[in-house]
Amino acid sequence: MPSKVSYTKNITPENLIKIYEALGVKLTGKVGVKVSTGEAGAKGYLKADLIGPLVKKLNGTIIECNTAYPGERNTAKDHMKVAEDHGFTKFAEVDIMDADGDFKIPVKNGKHLKYDLVGKNFANYDSILNLAHGKGHMMGGFGANLKNQSIGIASRKGKAYIHSCGKTTSPKLCWMSKHEQIDFIESMAEAATAVADYLKEQGKPIVYITVMNALSVDCDCDKNQGDPVMADLGIVASLDPVANDQAFIDMIWTSTDPGTPALKERIDSREGRAILSYAESLCLGSTKYDLIEI
């Protein structure tokens, strides 16, 4: 049976709340809102005026982990400064979840990863909103809910483990790892599935929203992030991260915007779409969906 994906073309704070409510799942208890705080110098990250009202409605905490690459977010102190500079601390608490370490969760039936390393504080949350910004990505081709759940929730060492396809947890050594591009794409899917499995076993709900605006070929983790290459597409939301990412990709592929070829080239040159079929094979979700406009 196809998964349900809700959609609205108009990107507003009110519609972000409306599409969350359309999912029919009430996030309660201590709610973690996983967003990318954006590297210092980036400009496409989700802005406070857009996401603030929804995060406040949920009494949510912005959750993040440090980066494996050198930059302004690879220590908790520096990362918190960037989060403050980018406006996140103005409307919510911010938790750099691996500030005090990490813990392992199992990867089942993985070809590359034996486990996933996630920020220690991830265990403290009762429910999760995976609130992604859809855009291109230098290494993964594109980033949306699956990347936000894999690389995003992984600790600094966990990111190194994913980037090296299970060869090392060293942020320094991971960039020297030799592997095929498809192995990295599949490693992200394995880590995202591990997070979903962990939450399900803990009885903790998670919902998925992707805001498809500021569509650049570069990720928000790029300090030299370029300008958007095509017009905004809207917001999609689902209980299925594979379906939600598939809907995002399909909207790019059916768009007649003149900037679309640049984003398509970025995605396919990195084998980005392969994450969808592999995640489906891991039973994380379905690439088949019904789009419901709200």
Q: Tens digit of pLDDT for each residue in 2-27?
A: 999 999 999 999 999 999 999 999 99
Phi, psi of 95 (to 5 degrees): -120, 110
The tally of domains found in the chain comes to 1
DSSP letter assigned to residue 91: T
Average pLDDT value over all residues in the chain = 97
Contact 235, 209 (CB under 8 A): yes
- In this prediction, residue 222 has a pLDDT band, given cuts at 50, 70 and 90, of confident
Q: Does residue 189 contact residue 109 with C-beta atoms inside 8 Å?
A: no
Which CATH number do you get for residue 272?
3.40.50
| Cβ 212 vs Cβ 232: under 8 Å | yes
Residue 95 is part of which domain span? 3-293
Residue 49: pLDDT band by 50, 70, 90 thresholds?
A: very high
151-179 burial: b if 16+ Cβ within 10 Å, else e: bbbbbbbbbbbbbbbbbbbebeebeebee
User: What's the pLDDT at 146?
Assistant: 98
**Calpha distance 80→37 (Å, rounded):** 9
Mapping DSSP to helix (H, G, I), strand (E, B) and coil, where does residue 48 land? helix
Q: How far is CA 249 from CA 10, 134, 242, in A?
A: 18, 9, 11
Q: Report pTM.
A: 0.98
Please report the DSSP string for 142-177 in residue order: EESHHHHHHTTTB-HHHHHHHHTTSS---TTTGGG-
